[in-house]
Chain A
Amino acid sequence: MKATETSTSIPVTTSVGTSANGAPQGLTPLAAQFVLKLDSYASLPFGWNSYQAPAPSAVAIRNAKALVISTIADSVVPERVEPSAMGGVGITFANDHREAVIEFYNDGTAHALLSDDASGEMQTQPVSPTPDGYVRLINSVRKYLHGE
């Protein structure tokens, strides 16, 4: 069994306020776009996928936002963010046939899958949703996707 990580308090590494129209301030336009999108998932109801998907929780969204802000500050840019049928939200990074997906669950835990569509290789790892955990994750994603 996976060791369950229960950390749910995520210090956001960048100070983020909101403007009068609700757009996050202090972020690059791209990061702001992803953050707004993640925020919008807070209004998804139970069964948003027309089946039994739980609504994304506040902690899952908060953790994902913290990673988006950290990655973009570190010049690793997500390709997409989206709600997950498992409950929670997901972030995808991609380069050519390689992909790194991070799934933030409603209980505050997170997991990553690194995959290569050309070779079929898959690696998984738990993600510690903390600033240190994100640094380790970003390094690992960068190395996997870009070989840096």
Chain B
Amino acid sequence: MASKPPTRNPNQSFPDSEHLFRRVRQENLKRDGKPTLFAFELPDMSVNRERFGTAEEARSGFDQQQWGVAAFLVMDIPPRVAWTHLAQVYNLLPRHIPTNSNFAHTEVRVRRWVENELVLITHRTTADFDDGDPDRNAQSGLPGALLDPDFHMRWRKHIAKASTAVVLPMELPG
């Protein structure tokens, strides 16, 4: 749901070399600490951006025994390259969507070309977006209709492979 916007303005400039941090529960980490693809999701995957917060801050308030933080780079998404799968072409990009309690909050959003138009794939309705959200008025469709498992599994595997564990939980899976 739309929430009260934070007092600072979001910044939609993402250098390729910026890290994005994703909190990962112990169950979704391999023995070597790397996250599995099951730690990642589409659409609207929440992460924290490095420019406005540290990896440790991404775990703040969560049990250090059970939670770690994985990091990947903006260039790993990759934001300016179309992912072509069969006849489907997807486009992904990070969006800085600060919340009241977390200015670093960012979402990886996915769009798909449908009949020469980029359609945002999301569960949200227009009312669920904050007023300043750059995708508030985008043409959108539901994941069930537009997001093919053949695509999202490959993308999530790609991100899992590109990720490194930057904060490990105190207990790794046995």
Q: Which residues of A contact B (CB under 8 A)?
A: 1-2, 48-53, 80, 82-86, 90, 92, 101, 103, 105, 109, 111, 113, 115, 117, 122, 124, 126
Contact = CB atoms under 8 A, between A and B. Distances in A.
A113 B157 contact: yes
Interface in B137-174: 145, 148-150, 152-154, 157, 161, 173
Query: 5 shortest A-B CB distances, which residue pairs?
Result: A85-B41, A111-B149, A124-B150, A84-B38, A113-B153
Contact of B148 (A2, A52, A115): A2
B52 interface: no
B89 to A, nearest CB: 14
A38 B83 CA distance: 33
B39 interface: yes
A74 B153 CA distance: 26
B41 A122 contact: no
B36 A92 contact: yes
B153 A103 contact: yes
Contacts of B45: 51, 85
Interface of B: 23-25, 27-28, 30, 36-42, 44-46, 62, 67, 145, 148-150, 152-154, 157, 161, 173
B118 to A, nearest CB: 18
For A50, A92, A111, which residue has the most chain B Cβ atoms within 10 angstroms? A50
For B37, B38, B150, B161, which residue has the most chain A Cβ atoms within 10 angstroms? B38
A50 to B, nearest CB: 5
Nearest to B148: A2
A13 B137 CA distance: 50
24 contacts: A1-B148, A2-B149, A49-B23, A49-B28, A51-B46, A52-B44, A53-B41, A80-B30, A84-B38, A85-B38, A85-B40, A85-B45, A90-B36, A90-B38, A101-B36, A101-B37, A101-B38, A103-B38, A103-B149, A105-B149, A111-B150, A111-B153, A124-B150, A126-B149
A74 to B, nearest CB: 23
Contact of B161 (A92, A111, A117): A117
Contacts of A51: 23, 41, 45-46
B27 A82 contact: yes
Given A103-B153, A113-B157, A83 B27 contact: yes
B154 A113 contact: yes
